Each structure stands twice: as C-alpha cells, then as structure tokens.
Chain A
C-alpha cells in the first residue's frame, strides 16, 4: 500500500505518521510538501497532527487553503482514502472535506492523555479491522478538539452511520462526544485521537494499528 503524508509548516506528527504507516504496511510513505500541487499515485493520503501556521486565524484555516489541498480534494473526490488526525482533522473541516468545525476545548485546557475511545462503525476503510462497539485506549493531544456542527449535519452523521469514533467519557465538549467522523462517501476520516502513536510496544499499546490495518485490508480488496 502506497501512502503520502502531507507536511505543512508547523506539522509535528508527520514523522510519527510516516513511521506508523511503514511499521504496519511495510512500505515507507512519501512526504509531500504543502506548496506542491501534485500528489504521487497513492492508496492513502494523510494529513498529520501539529500546529500548522501556529493555529493563526482558526486551527487548520490557513493550511486548508494551501496549494496541495486542491490535489487532496481531487483525490478524495476520486475515492482515495484521506485520513486527517488532530490538526489534520481540523484542516479537513476547514477545507470543507468534512462538515463542522473543531473549536476550543470547553474547559480551555490543552488535553494530553490517553482516553477511552469507542469504535462506532466498522463500515469504512479506516475501521474494518475493528468491530463496532470495540473500546480502545488512544492518546489525544489537543487544545481545539471540541467538535461542533449544525443540527441538520449532526442528524446526517448519526443517521448515515458516519460517526467513526466517540469518546467514552466527555473529553472536550464535543457534541455527541464525537471524536472522529466520515464524509458521505466514507473515504475521508477526520479524528482527534492519535492512532499513529499507539502502534509499537514502547507506546504502551498497539490498538492504533487497527486504523492502518483496515486500510491495508481495503487496499488489498481493491487490488484483488
């Protein structure tokens, strides 16, 4: 499985994402600079965590208008899986590839700790290695993870089974304890927790592997 990791000024989990992808898939991903306008032919595009442009204006707002994002949107429209983690989730929302917005945590604190995460759907290329209802531990590290959207959007997300992950306990004020959502085609996932930081024994657990293993399985199915 070939993957690309988009690197923006202020990305800081790009190396973690590249390492996790290589460990689980066996193939080193390609790093793509935000100022580029083309993506290589890949089976997965990822937007890693960080603080692109210092969170100026709104988290992810400037990065969402970077030159590479036109190509990311084109790949998403073509059905290529796009995974945005943490700041990557914020960028996907600001780019309009996912609905809603991530706002300041309700208690204003930067939250950096492992949390209990419930897998809400196994029906996606990112979650098919899990079973719906699985509860995993996963680290979070964010100040702006408070997911907000309009009531109509929330009804769609729930009704179309597009909430991929929920926090077991309220963490940051997110509506409906949302931690990760899918787009309507189910090929774009944004999530605040960091599965790429839970793939090696030294991380204290391996349950983040499921996201990447799901993508490998999905890529194999496409090939077969």
Chain B
C-alpha cells in the first residue's frame, strides 16, 4: 500500500524559510504571492494491505518521528 504523509508547520509558527522563498519569488517577478509555508512530504510504501491498520501505523510513525507535534501538524493520505 502506498501512503503520503504531509507535515506542515502549525498556524502561528514562524516559518523563516517560507518567507525567504516568497521573497525570492518576488525577486523573480512573481508578484501577488501573499504567503508561503514550507512543509515536508513523505511517500511511503507499506507491506500492510489493511487500510485501518496502515493508518494506525502511520499515525504512530508520525508521532514517533516524522513530525514534531510541538510545532508541526501531519496529514495521512492512503492511495
């Protein structure tokens, strides 16, 4: 089973990298960008075939390592 985990900064957490990227885009003439938040995407192949079990295991992986829930949220998409 394939899964995609998306980790993003929580609302309100300062993202200096996103700001720098927005600034660079503006420098290239791409105006009208009002905000950018940088995140991470993990494409994961699982041996598990049961969807509920896979989701539970991915949640455990997010909590254990993939996200730092002090400042980050995560989303799990199976497909």
Contact indicator per residue, chain B 64-76, by CB within 8 Å of chain A (1) or not (0): 1110101100000
Residues from chain B with a CB closer than 8 A to the CB of A57 are 65-66
Partner of A94, one of B13, B66, B68: B68
A57-B65, A61-B65, A65-B65 as given contacts; A150 in contact with B70, CB under 8 Å: yes
Q: Is A42 an interface residue (CB 8 A)?
A: no
Q: Which one, B14-22, B28-36, B44-52, is touching chain A? A: B14-22
Residues from chain A with a CB closer than 8 A to the CB of B64 are 65
Looking at the assembled complex, report how far the CB atom of A164 sits from the nearest CB atom of chain B, in whole angstroms.
20
A104-B16, A106-B14 as given contacts; A148 in contact with B65, CB under 8 Å: no
Residues from chain A with a CB closer than 8 A to the CB of B17 are 104, 108
Which are the 6 A-B pairs with shortest beta-carbon distances?
Answer: A101-B70, A108-B16, A104-B16, A101-B68, A101-B71, A108-B20
Query: How far is B65's CA from A61's CA once the two chains are assembled, in angstroms?
Result: 7
Q: Is A58 an interface residue (CB 8 A)?
A: yes
Q: List 25 A-B contacts (CB under 8 A).
A: A57-B66, A61-B68, A65-B64, A65-B65, A94-B68, A100-B70, A101-B68, A101-B71, A103-B13, A103-B14, A103-B71, A104-B16, A104-B17, A105-B16, A106-B14, A106-B16, A107-B16, A108-B16, A108-B17, A146-B14, A148-B70, A148-B71, A149-B70, A150-B70, A173-B14
Residue from A94, A103, A146 with most neighbouring chain B CB atoms (10 Å): A103
Query: How far is B27's CA from A205's CA once the two chains are assembled, in angstroms?
Result: 44
Looking across the interface, which residue of chain B has its beta carbon closest to that of A65? B65
Residues from chain B with a CB closer than 8 A to the CB of A107 are 16
Q: Told that A100-B70, A104-B16, A150-B70 touch, could you supply 12 new A-B pairs with CB distance under 8 A?
A: A61-B68, A65-B64, A94-B68, A99-B70, A101-B71, A103-B13, A106-B14, A106-B16, A107-B16, A108-B17, A108-B20, A173-B14
Q: Which chain B residues have a beta carbon within 8 Å of chain A's beta carbons?
A: 13-14, 16-17, 20, 64-66, 68, 70-71
Looking at the assembled complex, report how far the CB atom of B74 sits from the nearest CB atom of chain A, in whole angstroms.
13
Looking across the interface, which residue of chain B has its beta carbon closest to that of A62? B65
Query: How far is B26's CA from A220's CA once the two chains are assembled, in angstroms?
Result: 60
Query: How far is B14's CA from A94's CA once the two chains are assembled, in angstroms?
Result: 19
Looking at the assembled complex, report how far the CB atom of A88 sits from the nearest CB atom of chain B, in whole angstroms.
17
Residue from B13, B64, B66, B70 with most neighbouring chain A CB atoms (10 Å): B70
Looking across the interface, which residue of chain A has its beta carbon closest to that of B20? A108
Query: How far is B23's CA from A222's CA once the two chains are assembled, in angstroms?
Result: 55
Query: How far is B66's CA from A173's CA once the two chains are assembled, in angstroms?
Result: 24
Query: How far is B16's CA from A149's CA once the two chains are assembled, in angstroms?
Result: 17
